[in-house]
Amino acid sequence: MQGLEVEEVLDVSPWRKWIAVQARIPGKEGKAVVLLEKKPFDVEDVKRMLAPNAGAEYKLDFQNAEYCVYNLQVPPALNAIKCDTIFPATDQQINKYRKDEIHVLWETVDIYKNVVLPFVEENERGRRIQWVHNILDGSAEQERIIYHNNDPRDGFVLLPDLKWDQTNVSNLYCLAIVNRKDLVCLRSLNDENLDLLQNIYHQGCGAILEKYGVTPDKLIVHIHYLPTFWHLHVHFLHVDLALSAGVTSKAHNLRDCIENIRLLPSYYQVKEMEVRLLEKSLLWKAWTEAKDAEAATQLQDGP
């Protein structure tokens, strides 16, 4: 690939130093998605970059007393950019990377029971999480499992998340997936599940310590709500990764979850929860349709 004609910027993240564009390859039919991301610093590259004979060009942008800000131009060999491409890209793949509006909402218990849970059971369970069932029944990814508690009620499997390449423990990212298939998400939990949650925390931290040498005080352990997939699972992140990635409001610390349930066994069955929905998501559509129907009913009933 020698060159591209950019047609549209799909999304850009200054924080991630990442951009997604739609482009065309001259002389070829079809559209391409190109993802560009600044690569993390390599220590040896930094040494070469700052060396006196590196050929770097410093341009002063700001100075106040001992504090200076420079724009630093370095040789191309020390400024590599990761470039992922999809070609030919379907409209669905293009839309996946197109920026979408985010709505911050409060989910009541009624909304969960009458809108979210029915939507999840119809659209997000079954075949959508077959890959999870394959791990649990032993037909897939068994070589990746770090730890397995086989107890059908209070057990789980622990394995590295696919986002982690298992080379740098500062980027450690593991998932604990519960054996029980009836536990959908954080809202499913009550005091009957305390042994399970304790097992996940203590046994999970112990397995990570034994396998990777990372102590519990270097781990952030949490449950996402809304989750990425609707089978109860727990995230284990190295604190360095969690701080650099920015743990979002959908992350609920596992030990806080345990304590909340101890204080009130039905805590997650009665609490209003903050959720964030993308406008192009099917759940957003179901949510707004339910709200529209509720508003219409109230108008028909009168004051």
Annotated ligand binding at 165? The verdict is no
Tokens 């007393």 correspond to 65
Annotated ligand binding at 115? The verdict is no
Annotated ligand binding at 58? The verdict is no
233 is catalytic: yes
Annotated ligand binding at 44? The verdict is no
Annotated ligand binding at 233? The verdict is yes
CB 222 within 8 Å of CB 251: yes
3-state SS, residue 122 = helix
Annotated ligand binding at 226? The verdict is yes
Helices (H), 117-253: 117-123, 130-136, 194-212, 239-245
Q: Which of the following is catalytic: 148, 222, 233, 238?
A: 233
The burial class, CB within 10 Å (0-12 / 13-18 / 19+), for 1 is: exposed
Annotated ligand binding at 252? The verdict is no
Annotated ligand binding at 274? The verdict is no
Task: State how far the Cα of 250 lies from the Cα of 274, in Å rounded to an integer.
Answer: 8
CB 83 within 8 Å of CB 35: yes
Annotated ligand binding at 50? The verdict is no
- Angstrom CA distances, 237 to 13, 155, 223, stand at 22, 20, 11
Annotated ligand binding at 164? The verdict is no
CA angle, corner 184, sides to 181 and 190, nearest 5? Answer: 100
Strand partners, 106: 274
Task: State how far the Cα of 285 lies from the Cα of 3, in Å rounded to an integer.
Answer: 39
Annotated ligand binding at 230? The verdict is yes
- Angstrom CA distances, 221 to 63, 173, 181, stand at 41, 10, 21
Annotated ligand binding at 173? The verdict is no
Annotated ligand binding at 163? The verdict is yes
What is the distance of C-alpha 20 from the center of its chain?
A: 18
Annotated ligand binding at 225? The verdict is yes
Task: Supply the Cα-derived Rg of the chain in whole angstroms.
Answer: 24
Binding-site sequence positions for substrate? 131, 141, 161, 163, 224-235
**Residues carrying an active site annotation:** 233
Binding-site sequence positions? 131, 141, 161, 163, 224-235
